[in-house]
Structure 1
Amino acid sequence: MKTYDCAIIGGGIAGLSLSIQLAQKGYEVVLLEKKRYPFHRVCGEYVSMETWDFIESLGVSLTHEQLPKIERLQLTTPKGKSLQAPLPLGGFGISRYRLDHLLFQQAKNVGVEVLEGHGVNHVKRLHCDIFEVKSGTTTLQARVTVGAFGKQSNLDQALQRKHKMKHRYSDFIGVKYHVEADLPEDLIGLHNFKEGYCGISKIEDHRYCMCYLTTATNLKKAGGSIHRMEQEILSENPYLRQFLGFKRLYEKPLAISQIDFSSKELFHKDIIMIGDAAGLIAPLSGNGMSMAFRSSNMLASLLERYFQDQMSWEVLKQLYAKQWKNEFGSRLKTGRILQGILKNTRWAYRTLELLTLFPWLTRQIILRTHGKPFL
């Protein structure tokens, strides 16, 4: 049986970008993804410019994609209150359907063995430096196993990760559409409604991504109907009332439930977690995808040193935990605070009034949820 240097579970942004970096350094990498590319994901599809150069260094040319550049933020409340502010670094719009597929193609180009249609159901450390990974009838071995299975996975439950046992912050659902719209292409809007908020911004091919997060309680109040919830709850915001009339480019909305924002373990049974599997920032912060790229870059550098016997396993764990906290600790905390505010319509309105009076506060919040270019 072939033994890989690294087995990566999950083929989203974090997993694919890590696989490319390790393969570019000459390591044997296998990536297991339960779906088949290309496919859509529930995601806001705004990426901070802090990642642009890094993505291009992977061999993915964003310049050729002619993507919309996003430079302004708009916040609104159900009372019709609106605030606009510049985004200091800015970002760009691209669908996960397109971005993940570009990364998938590049992973194959650099020699990553990508196993599509392979959902992992078993991971076990056999001894000090060998893991066994099973997916259906496929069994493989690797020196290191990385969990990059995103914000929600059955593997979390199977592994009995602590955050799944608590169920404290998993009462959230996400819904996404691609729509046709006539809106400024340099603007990302965050529109508050009772116990939730909706983001809308332009992506490729003259489309806009409209994605919202709310509670399962809101859906229950609407009798389990997404359409009814939108008409009765989201439409209280006059901006959203207009946007909900845009032509939708999906037959049905994409939806995901039991989204968990509680603190997560970076290591579980010596599986290393990256991206949303390691920690999920509130979507309103607009920086989840950048964090996924950054975490893969941090881990790739550490794994290279580990594979070259320049550090022990325990030192790798200590350094990764320290770097993760330094890079993302403040962002995650700020995101949770903002999410709590925007869930409450009254507090959202008061916060928006405060930000209108003191524009520098808006800039500080944006800076605390975003990083700096890392390449």
Structure 2
Amino acid sequence: MDKNKIQVIVVGGGLAGLISSICLQKAGVNTLLFEKKEYPFHRVCGEYISKEVKPFLERMDLFPDHLKPSELTRFQLSDIKGSMAEVDLPLGGFGISRFQLDDFLYQKALNAGVKVKTKTEVSDIVFQDNEFKINLKTGETLTSEFVINAYGKRSKLDKTFDRPFIQKKSPFLGVKYHAKVNFPKDLIGLYNFKGGYCGVSHIEDDKVNICYLARRENLKEYRGIAEMEEAILHQNPLLKNIFESSEMLFDKPEVINEISFERKASVENHMLMAGDTAGLITPLCGNGMAMAIHSGYLASSSIIKLFEGELKNRNEVETEYQNIWQKNFSKRLWVGRKTQNLFGNQMRAGLSVKFLRNFPSIAKSLIQQTHGEVF
């Protein structure tokens, strides 16, 4: 094995990309990671992580204790009119900003020996003669034996690869704030409004994450996001109170358009897809960060097994990853897609609140189905 040769290139320096690159490098697999932005930076994200991944992070010395993530143990749901129900989270989770967590993992990747190129964009990836040619926007071309794509929800690369989901217009946009506001530190609130829902929970440093998913058609009716929030989100009195009593910490909100929950493949043209690149869970399930961490680990593990002789060839790596991805994530993505239909509509949201209130044990079981096993 040539230790100077790049064996794996990881495209995208979010949770899945950083975790996979750290695992690979620690196993002795020479890894290069590309991230088009420069750390630290914000991402539109609910910033809640299920505790299913905490033992893994602790085992790998990747849990950010020093940042003092919030402990989240309760879940509160409201319909559009503000009627509420509450249940304990079966496993619980912790809240931490992507601004802090991604930067922490980036430093861990550097310390592990991962080569990282920030402010560098990949324009195309071609598989030829049993290796990958990675073309950069600068005109440079590199080669590697494997590629893990972890570039997120939506990218120019999806169009380059002509992925099926990218052909469909998505009706959703995501908006995120950090705020100082009086909100219970152990609570995740999910509050419905017409055509969408908003998650509220604590992260580090006594800050609160306010992140919502809305239909783009809502925005078209108004001059901007603030006007839409006042006209649509404030119809829910709970959200109206939260927004009006918040000291917003951003100059302007973080926004992402064209959020797609369509099915995606976990392997395409021999490239392993991880995190949101392989499948985006609906935000109301609140588990995308845990899925990204877990899928990054699984993608790296499949490649490591080849280099350690447990798997024989590329085909076995791809098959192993596809199978283990399906086993761990396909059901919860399906449950998330089905559950999403209950939200953003007063009648369906009202029924959901009543169900949560009257059948808490069944509701907890449904929540558990959108979360994975501790690993």
Scaled by the length of structure 1, what TM-score is found?
A: 0.96
Letter in 1 for 2:199: G
Render the CA deviation track for 1:162-219: whole Å, top value 9, x for unaligned.
Answer: 111233xx11100000000111100010000111000010011110000000111111
Question: Could you tell me which residue of structure 2 aligns to residue 276 of structure 1?
Answer: 276
Structure 1 range deviating more: 352-361 or 37-46: 352-361
What corresponds to 1:212 in structure 2?
212
The amino acid across from 1:322 in the alignment is N
Is 2:122–2:134's contact at 8 Å kept on the other side of the alignment? no
Output one character per residue of 1:290-344: Cα deviation in whole Å (capped at 9) or x when no partner: 0011111112221011223432222222221111111111100111112111032
Equivalent AA in structure 1 for residue 25 of structure 2 = A
Q: What's the RMSD between the two structures over aligned residues?
A: 1.3
The question of whether the paired residues in 1 share the 8 Å contact of 2:9 and 2:146 is answered with: yes
Q: Is the 8 A contact 2:34 2:118 kept in 1?
A: yes
Alpha-carbon distance in structure 1 between the residues aligned to 2:168 and 2:320: 27
Number of the residue aligned with 2:342 = 341
Deviation at 1:133, TM superposition (A): 3.7
Q: d(CA) in 2 for partners of 1:41 and 1:280?
A: 15
The residue that corresponds to 1:175 in the other structure is 175
Is residue 59 of structure 1 aligned with residue 72 of structure 2? no
Structure 1 equivalent of residue 74 of structure 2 = 72
Do structure 1's residue 262 and structure 2's residue 265 form an aligned pair? no
Counterpart contact for 2:81–2:346, Cα < 8 Å: no
Which sections of structure 2, spanning at least 5 residues, go unmatched? none
Aligned 8 A contact 2:36 2:118 in 1: yes
Tell me, in whole angstroms, the C-alpha distance in 2 between the residues paired with 1:7 and 1:273: 12
For 1:82 and 1:110, the matched residues in 2 are separated by 46
Q: After superposition, what is the alpha-carbon deviation per residue over 1:253-286, rounded to whole angstroms, capped at 9, x for unaligned?
A: 0000001100001122222100000000001101
Mapped to 2, the partners of 1:113 and 1:135 lie a distance apart of 18
Q: Is the 8 A contact 1:132 1:140 kept in 2?
A: yes
Give 1:56 deviation, angstroms: 2.4
**What residue in structure 2 maps to residue 141 of structure 1?**
143
Alignment of 1:341-360 (within 5 A): 341-360=342-361
Q: Deviations over 1:213-233 (max 9, x none)?
A: 01111111224x101110000
Cα drift, residue 36 of structure 1: 0.2
Name 1:195's counterpart in structure 2: 195
Quote the residue 2:306 is aligned against.
306
Greater mean alpha carbon deviation, residues 20-29 or residues 135-144: 135-144
Residue 244 in structure 1 maps to residue 246 in structure 2: no
The offset of 1:61, in angstroms, is 3.9
SS in 1 for 2:9: strand
Question: Partners of 2:83 and 2:59 in 1: how far apart?
Answer: 41
Deviation at 1:77, TM superposition (A): 1.3
Give how far 1:40 is off. Answer: 0.3
Aligned with 1:60: secondary structure? coil
* 1:11-62 superposed Cα distances (whole Å, 9 cap, x missing partner): 0000000000000001110000000000000000001111112122333242
Q: TM-score, normalised by structure 2?
A: 0.96
Q: What is the aligned partner in structure 1 of residue 52 from structure 2?
A: 50
One-letter amino acid of the counterpart of residue 160, structure 1: D
- What code does the residue aligned with 2:130 have? C
2:279 alignment partner, SS class: coil
Shift of 1:354: 2.0
Count matched residues: 370
- Secondary structure of 1:227's counterpart equals helix
Distance 1:181 1:328 in 2: 34
Structure 1: how far apart are the matches of 2:209 and 2:175?
A: 11
The unaligned stretches of length 5 or more in structure 1 are: none
SS, match of residue 6 in structure 2: strand
> Hey, what does 1:233 align to over in structure 2?
232
Say whether the 8 Å CA contact 1:32–1:115 is kept in structure 2.
yes
Q: What's the secondary structure of 1:69's corresponding residue? A: strand
